[in-house]
Structure 1
Amino acid sequence: PETDFWVSQLADLSVIGALNSGSRVVDYHDGDCGSNNSQNCFNQGFTVPPPPQQGGRWPCGQLTAKGIAMMRLKGQLIREKYCNFISDIDNVTQVHVQSTNIRRTIRSAQSLLAGLFPEHFVNVDADNQLSSSGELLPAIREVLVCHQAHGLAFPDGLDRQLFAQICDYDAWLWHQLYGKMEFCRASFSAGVQRIYTYLSGIPEGTTTHKLSLFSAHDNSLVAFANALQLQVPRVIPPYGAMLIFEVFRHRVTGEFYLKTLFEDDEVTFARDLTLRHVLIFHRHGDRTPVLTSIGSKVQQTHEETDFWASKVATPEQIELLQQTAKTIGADPSQPPTIRPSKESQFPYGLLTQKGVEHMTAKGRKFRERYGDFMGGNVKTEDVHVLSSSVPRTIESVQSLLRGFFYEGQNTQIKVPQFYVHTYTHNVLAPNHPLQVFNEIELIVHDDVVSLRSKIERGAMEKLSLHLRECLGVPEDQPLSWTAVRDALTCREAHDWPFPEGVDQKIFEQVTVYDTWLWQRLYHRKDFCHGAFKDGVKEIYAYLKSVVNNQKEVAKLSFFSAHDNSIVALLGALQIDVGAQLPEYGTAVTFEVHEDVATHEFYIKPLYEGEVVSFVGHHNDPFCPFSHFESLALEFLTVKA
C-alpha cells in the first residue's frame, strides 16, 4: 500500500513531457541557440549522456509532483528577484545549467527552468561531480520527512516533537561529519573544484554565461558549505534549498566581488576572529555536606562529624592556595568578606582534599586550552578573579589558579600572586532564603501539575512516601528533595553509606526529579530576576567592559560560585544545556572574539568545554555580542 501511495505522488507523464519539451539533457552541445532560431534548437546535434540514475528503487527517490511544482515556483521567484538582470539575457547560451546524473536533480533543474525560461539545455555531469560521494543512509529522518511532506502518519510512538529532535541531531551529525576537512575533501573535492573553476572563469573571461544552475542534493549543499566554511544555518537543507552566488564587478576599479545567499539570507565566509578574553564562571569543587540533618532518622553523629573532618582540605593544601592568590575585598585596599567563617561551620560545607585536587586538575585542563592565549609573561592584572564570599568558592578558584599557572609549569617562569576579589554583597550567590530549597515543589506546584504526567506524579508521590519512612520526615513537613539529593551526593562521593532503605536507584530518581524542580524554579523569570539579577548584571557589565575597552582589561577572568548560580545564569541568559545540574567544578565559559576586519565582537559560550547556544542563535557557535547583550538586558529589565 505504501508503494502505491508513493507512485500516486509522482508527476503525470504529461508534466514530464512538458519539462522535456522546454529542455533537454545533453552531455555537450555548442550549437547556435540564439533567440532568432530558437525554434530549431532541438534539431541540432548533441552527444547523448549516460542514462540518469534512479537514485533509489523506484518509486523511491523520485521527484514528486509536489516537488516539481515547488521548484517551478522557486524558478518564478528567482525570475522576480533578478527580473532586470534576466531581462537582458537574449541568448540562451548565456545560461549554464549543470546537474548530477540522478534523475530527481535533473527534474528539479528542469522545473526551475520552467519557471525561468521556455527553452534551455541542461549539461549533465557523467561523473556526478556535484553529488557528495559519501553514502549516507537516510534512515529514520528521511522516512519521517517524506511522511510529513505528504501527510502520512508517523509510526506509533513518534510525534512532531521527537521528529524535530531527530532532525536537529541528524543535522548536527551531518555538519560534524562534513566539517571534518579530510572527509569533506575526499567526498566532495571534485564538486568544489567544478564550481570554483566555473566561478573563477568569470573574471578570467572564460565563463560568459549570465546565469547558471547547479542541481544537486542535500549533502552536496552541506559538504559545499563546510568546504568553503560558509556561515550557514546548521541544518539539513530542505527540498529546493538554494545557495546563490551573485558576482559583481566594480565599475571603477574592475574588481570582482562575491555575495553569497542561503535561502535568500546573506551569509559570510569564515570570519577572521581573534580571541580577546576568556571568562570562566564555575562551581566550587567537592565539599562536605551542607545540610546534616534530614528528618528524625538522619541526624548528625560524632562518628559522621569526625569522618567529614578527615576529608576537608589539609593545612598544607590551604597554605599553597594562599600563596597562589590573596583574598581581598573589592580592591587591594579593602579586607576580604568571608562568611560564614570556616570555624563557625567546621567541618560542614567546606572544600575537601578531593575538591582541591579536582579543581587543580581542572586548572591544568584550562591551561591546555588557553595557555598559549595567556602567553608566558603573565602579570597580576592579566587575570581578574571574583568569588562568592563562601570559603569553599574562594579555595576552589585558588585551586584553579594553582593548576593553571603553577602546577607542572616551568619553574623558571615567574608567576605573580593573584587577587581573589570578594564583595560585601555576595552577587554571585542567588539571593533567597535557604528555606526555598525545602519548598521548591510547592513553589512550582503549577508546573508539576501541568507539565508532568499523572504517571510521573504518582511515581514521585510513591517515592516521597518511601523516603519519608526511611528518613523520618513527618507528613506535615515538606520533603526537601534538594536536601536528600545533596546528602546522598556527598555520601556517594566519599563512600559513606546511604541511609537504610535508600539505594543507588533511589538516589538517581531523586537527582532526576530535583534537577527538574531546580530548572523549573530558576527558569521562572520573576523568581530568577529577584534572586540573581545582581549576578547577571556583574557578568554582563564585565563582558561589556571587555568589548568597550579590551586593551585595558584582563585576558582571563574567573567567577567562582555555586550550583544554583550556574542554573540561574543559564536560565537568565536562556542557554539550554539539557536536564542536568552542575556537578562539582562545572564551568560555563564565555570566549570573547573580535573580527579583525570589522571589529565586531562575538561570544562563544561553552558548557564543560562543549559549545552551547543562546536562545534565538543556534546556527553559529559565535554569537554576536549584540544578541547576548539583548538577552542580558531583557532579563535585567524584568519588572517584579
Structure 2
Amino acid sequence: MRGTCQTSGSKSLYVSLLFLIFVLLESVSGRNLTFATLIYRHGDRSPIETYPNALHKESEWPQGFGQLTTLGMQQQHELGQYIKKRYSNFLSPTYKREEIYVQSTDVDRTIMSAQVNLAGLFPPSTSEMWNPQILWQPIPIYVIPKSFRPKLRYPIFDCPRYKKLLRETMASREFRDKIQPYRNFLKTIADHSGYDMRSLRNLYTFKVWNVQDTLLCESIHNYTLPTWATEDVKAKLEQLTVLSLSSLFGIYKREEKARLQGGLLVKNILENISNAAKYPGKRKMLIYSAHDTTLGALQMALNTYNEKLPPYAACQIFELYQEDTGEYTIEMYFRNDTSRDPYPITLPGCSFACPLQKFSDLVAPILVDNWENECRS
C-alpha cells in the first residue's frame, strides 16, 4: 500500500508539473519582444582630471586623461557578447543594418566603447569576413554633437533655471543635512588634495568627484596611492560622490530637475518605443554609448536610482513586449554586475511589466515640450 501511494503521488506530481510547464509555455509564447533600447556607460578609463597634489600626472597614462583602457575594451567586449546572447532569438545572428542603430556622445571613450561593444555583439560570420586575420567588421556609430537636443551627456549646464536649482539645492536643508557629517572629512581632503573647501562643496565643480575618481583609476591600474588614501577615506569619498550625483539630479526638486536634464532622454526613449509599437518595422534595437552621469540622470528622472555609482559598462535596458491581448508593456533592467542576471527595475506606481500607456502617463510630469523656454523661466 505504501508503495502504491508513493507511485500515485509521483504521478500526481508529474501531471501537475506538466500542467505548470504547459501554462508557462503558453504564457511565454503569448508575448513577444518587439523592441529594445540599451544605454550603457563606457568601459574603464584613465582619470578625467587629477587633483593639484596628485602623485601621478597625465603623462603617466598611456593615452592621457579620459581615455578608454585595454581593461575598458575587455569590459565592453564582454557586454557586447552578453547582448548577443540575451537577444539571440530576437536579433539576426549576423549584422543587419536595418535592425540596429547605435549612437554615442562625441567623446573618445564612448565612441571606442561602442566600437568594441559591437565587435563582441557582431563578430563577422564567414560571409562577412573581409580579412581572415581580423575577426572584426565595421559597423556605423552615429555621434551626437554637443549642440544636439536631446543630449546623451548630462548634466547640461547651459540652462539658467537648472543652475538656479543647483544653487538652491546647495542651500537646502536636505543637502546641508546630508553633507554636514562630512564637514571635518572635507577639511582633511582639502589639505591632502590641494583643493579649497568651497570648491569641494560646490556641486558643479566635480572636485570631490575628481579626487575619488583619480584614486579609483590609480587603484584599478596598480599605481602607487598616497599614504592618506586609506580604505576608509576611499569609502567616504565614494559616498560623497554618490551624494554629488544625487544632488545634481535629485534630493531637492527632483522632478523639476528631471524636466531639464534626464527627462529629455526619457522623452527620446519613450518616443522611439511608442513609434515601434505604432509602426512596427525592421528596426529592433537602439543602443546609446554614454556616461555614468547619463545613467544617473536617466534613473533619477525615472525615480529608480539605487544610490550607487554606475560601474564601468553598466547597462540600462528597456524592452517593449506585445502581450497576447495585443497590449504593449515595458520592462526595465539594470546590469551593473557581470556575475548575475540584470536587476529588474519597476517604475514607481506601476507593475514590473508596465503597460505602455501607463508608463507614458507616469513619466509625463518630467517631459518638457520647450526645453529652451523652461530653462529661461
Relative to the length of structure 2, the TM-score reads 0.77
Equivalent-residue separation in structure 1 for 2:235 and 2:168 (angstroms): 18
* Cα separation, partners in 2 of 1:635 and 1:189, compared to 1, 3 Å: farther
How big is each residue's C-alpha offset from its partner over 1:63-120, in whole Å with a ceiling of 9 and x where there is no partner?
xxxxxxxxxxxxxxxxxxxxxxxxxxxxxxxxxxxxxxxxxxxxxxxxxxxxxxxxxx
CA contact (8 A) 1:441 1:517 kept: no
CA contact (8 A) 2:259 2:366 kept: yes
CA contact (8 A) 1:470 1:499 kept: no
Equivalent-residue separation in structure 1 for 2:101 and 2:47 (angstroms): 29
Deviation at 1:290, TM superposition (A): 1.0
- Corresponding residue for 1:298? 54
The equivalent position to 2:307 in structure 1, one of 573, 576, 579, is 579
Equivalent-residue separation in structure 2 for 1:623 and 1:372 (angstroms): 23
Equivalent-residue separation in structure 2 for 1:589 and 1:449 (angstroms): 34
- Corresponding residue for 1:474? 196
- Corresponding residue for 1:286? 44
Equivalent-residue separation in structure 1 for 2:15 and 2:89 (angstroms): 37
- Corresponding residue for 2:187? 465
- Corresponding residue for 1:537? 267
- Corresponding residue for 2:330? 603
1:114-513 maps to which residues of 2 (within 5 A)?
A: 189=13, 272-292=30-50, 294-295=51-52, 297-298=53-54, 304-308=57-61, 310=62, 312=63, 347-406=64-123, 410-412=125-127, 417-424=138-145, 425-426=147-148, 427-433=151-157, 443=170, 445-450=172-177, 452=178, 457-458=180-181, 460-479=182-201, 480-513=207-240
CA contact (8 A) 1:447 1:520 kept: no
Relative contact order: is structure 1 or structure 2 higher (C-alpha 8 Å, sep ≥ 6)?
2
* Cα separation, partners in 2 of 1:630 and 1:470, compared to 1, 3 Å: same
CA contact (8 A) 1:444 1:520 kept: no
* Cα separation, partners in 2 of 1:445 and 1:504, compared to 1, 3 Å: farther
Can you give the 5+ residue segments of structure 2 that lack an aligned partner in the other structure?
Answer: 130-135, 202-206, 336-341
Equivalent-residue separation in structure 2 for 1:401 and 1:533 (angstroms): 27
2:296 equivalent to 1:567: yes
CA contact (8 A) 2:41 2:315 kept: yes
CA contact (8 A) 1:280 1:557 kept: yes
- Corresponding residue for 2:346? 613
| Aligned AA (1:633) | A
| Aligned AA (1:634) | P
Please give the secondary structure, in 2, of the residue aligned with 1:614.
coil
* Cα separation, partners in 2 of 1:190 and 1:398, compared to 1, 3 Å: closer
CA contact (8 A) 1:281 1:560 kept: yes
Please give the secondary structure, in 2, of the residue aligned with 1:372.
coil
| Aligned AA (2:350) | H
Equivalent-residue separation in structure 1 for 2:41 and 2:69 (angstroms): 14
* Cα separation, partners in 2 of 1:291 and 1:635, compared to 1, 3 Å: same
Please give the secondary structure, in 1, of the residue aligned with 2:317.
strand
- Corresponding residue for 2:339? none
How big is each residue's C-alpha offset from its partner over 1:416-450, in whole Å with a ceiling of 9 and x where there is no partner?
7422112333410124349x8xx899626421345
* Cα separation, partners in 2 of 1:441 and 1:463, compared to 1, 3 Å: farther
The structure number with the bigger radius of gyration is 1
Please give the secondary structure, in 1, of the residue aligned with 2:93.
coil
- Corresponding residue for 1:527? 257
CA contact (8 A) 1:378 1:416 kept: no
Equivalent-residue separation in structure 1 for 2:184 and 2:32 (angstroms): 55
Deviation at 1:307, TM superposition (A): 2.1
Deviation at 1:546, TM superposition (A): 1.2
| Aligned AA (2:286) | S
The number of equivalent residue pairs is 334
* Cα separation, partners in 2 of 1:633 and 1:417, compared to 1, 3 Å: farther
CA contact (8 A) 2:38 2:317 kept: yes
How big is each residue's C-alpha offset from its partner over 1:390-436, in whole Å with a ceiling of 9 and x where there is no partner?
12111111111111101xx64345697422112333410124349x8
Please give the secondary structure, in 1, of the residue aligned with 2:184.
helix
Give the root-mean-square deviation of aligned CA atoms.
Answer: 3.4
1:76-91 maps to which residues of 2 (within 5 A)?
A: none
Equivalent-residue separation in structure 2 for 1:475 and 1:575 (angstroms): 31
* Cα separation, partners in 2 of 1:420 and 1:547, compared to 1, 3 Å: same
Deviation at 1:475, TM superposition (A): 4.0
* Cα separation, partners in 2 of 1:465 and 1:517, compared to 1, 3 Å: same
Equivalent-residue separation in structure 2 for 1:280 and 1:570 (angstroms): 13
Equivalent-residue separation in structure 1 for 2:294 and 2:104 (angstroms): 12
Relative to the length of structure 1, the TM-score reads 0.47
Can you give the 5+ residue segments of structure 1 that lack an aligned partner in the other structure?
Answer: 1-126, 128-184, 197-223, 230-267, 313-346
How big is each residue's C-alpha offset from its partner over 1:303-344, in whole Å with a ceiling of 9 and x where there is no partner?
x33321x2x4xxxxxxxxxxxxxxxxxxxxxxxxxxxxxxxx
Deviation at 1:631, TM superposition (A): 3.0
Deviation at 1:363, TM superposition (A): 0.6
Deviation at 1:361, TM superposition (A): 1.6
Identity %: 20
